[in-house]
Amino acid sequence: MESSLPSTQNLDFGESAERKDEAKSYKEMISTFPRVQWWSYYEGFWYHSMLLEGIMSAQDHFIPQSTDIFITSSPKTGTTWLKALTFAICTRSRLSGSSASALLTKMPHECVPLLEYHRAQNPMKRDCAVPLVSTHVPYSSLPKSVVSSCCKMIYICRDAKDAFVSLWHFIAELQRSRNVEPLSLEEAFELFCSGISGYGPYWDHVLGYWRASLEFPEKVLFLTYEEMKKDTAAHVKKLAEFMGCSFTLEEEEEGEVQKIVSMCSFDKLSNLEVNKNGTHSLDTLIDVKNSAFFRKGEIGDWKNNLTPEMGARLDDIMEQKLKGSGLKLPR
Ligand code: A3P
């Protein structure tokens, strides 16, 4: 099957002749990597080749600001929500009372750039007053400059079944919008169970950040979508504390925490004009409807998509893979 996404041929990750040569050499390297469908295998994980160029470029060049906080995740595990919450938390004092008003007109992905895209790697194109960068890159492949820095990271993950279903719907939507026949749910499920999905194997992605959070608890905060749903207000406070901008008593009394919870709720964000009808440019790569990032926002939607046998199979795989790690993901 043909990929729904553009080939790397037309991408231009650099402005200078030197950067153009470098982009060419990334393309040449990527063309030698093992490939399944449109996924290329690099440093133990599977990536769409168009993103690999950006990842390799970040590994070679990205220098974080010392105050940067990294929002890290596997795709479709709650990144958009976490970006909105962290953005709202850290910009609240700039916004003179109207928490997170930028989120009313800007999609969360526009507010927090993704490291894999050239835009995030260019300090000239970042709002450096917002110390947030997001990435789906696995912990073991993060740029050395990030790992060796004192920058904090916040990781979010989710029940693998819901993450898979969310991912399948998202990719199918992208493919349909490009008139490409989507992979069937069954085909995509087989690939996912064998570790092949964007930034997969899913379990290795989760384990990388889980172990880092055990080793460097002051640096890596590990969260789950399900826990965050259960008590969002407590997580907003926890996030603020971890990010070094705790709520004052006065702010708490003024209901600032609850304002952020409501502003970033699925209902609020998904009904904003910008998220209902806008499109989001994935750097220079492709345009995606913002609404694709807001599907249902529920726990357990896998039951409407997978058979109980498929669910049990993925649970077994996750249990085996996480065995001995001390991590139990919600189911
Ligand atoms: P579903 O497809 O299960 O609905 P990501 O942001 O990492 O791409 O993850 C997308 C998932 O998060 C989607 O899950 C989406 O609906 C859900 N989501 C987006 N915004 C959310 C919010 N504000 N609150 C809760 N879930 C949200």
State the DSSP string of 268-287.
Answer: HHHTSHHHHH-EEEETTTEE
Catalytic, 136? Answer: yes
Give the ligand 1 atom nearest the CA of 84.
23
Closest residue by Cα to residue 78 from 88, 90, 68, 86: 86
User: Is this model's pTM higher than 0.95 or not?
Assistant: no
| Nearest alpha carbon, ligand 1 atom 20 | 81
The mean pLDDT of 35-59, rounded to a whole number, is 92
Q: Which of 69-78, 86-95, 121-130, 167-176 is predicted with the least confidence, judged by mean pLDDT?
A: 121-130
Cα of 266 from ligand 1 centre, angstroms: 8
Active-site residue identified among 48, 109, 136, 169: 136
The mean pLDDT of 194-206, rounded to a whole number, is 97
Instruction: Write the CA distances from 213 to 219, 223, 327, integer angstroms.
Output: 7, 10, 11
Pocket test for ligand 1, best of 71, 73, 81 (most atoms within 8 A of CB): 81
Spell out which residues line ligand 1, taking CB within 6 angstroms: 73, 75-81, 162, 166, 169, 264-266, 269, 293-297, 301
Q: For the chain, list the domains and their CATH numbers.
A: 67-322 (3.40.50.300)
| Nearest alpha carbon, ligand 1 atom 10 | 76
| Nearest alpha carbon, ligand 1 atom 2 | 166
Instruction: Write the CA distances from 93 to 20, 71, 114, 196, 208, integer angstroms.
Output: 41, 20, 24, 42, 34
Cα of 295 from ligand 1 centre, angstroms: 6
Q: Over 60: is that where the pLDDT of 1 sits?
A: no
Q: What is the pLDDT of residue 36?
A: 92
Pocket test for ligand 1, best of 72, 74, 79, 80 (most atoms within 8 A of CB): 80
More confident residue, 184 or 97: 184
Cα of 122 from ligand 1 centre, angstroms: 27
Q: How far apart are CA 308 and CA 111, in angstroms?
A: 38
Q: How far apart are CA 305 and CA 109, in angstroms?
A: 27
Q: How far apart are CA 200 and CA 175, in angstroms?
A: 19
Q: Which of 59-63, 213-217, 232-236 is predicted with the least confidence, judged by mean pLDDT?
A: 59-63
Q: Over 60: is that where the pLDDT of 12 sits?
A: no
| Nearest alpha carbon, ligand 1 atom 14 | 297
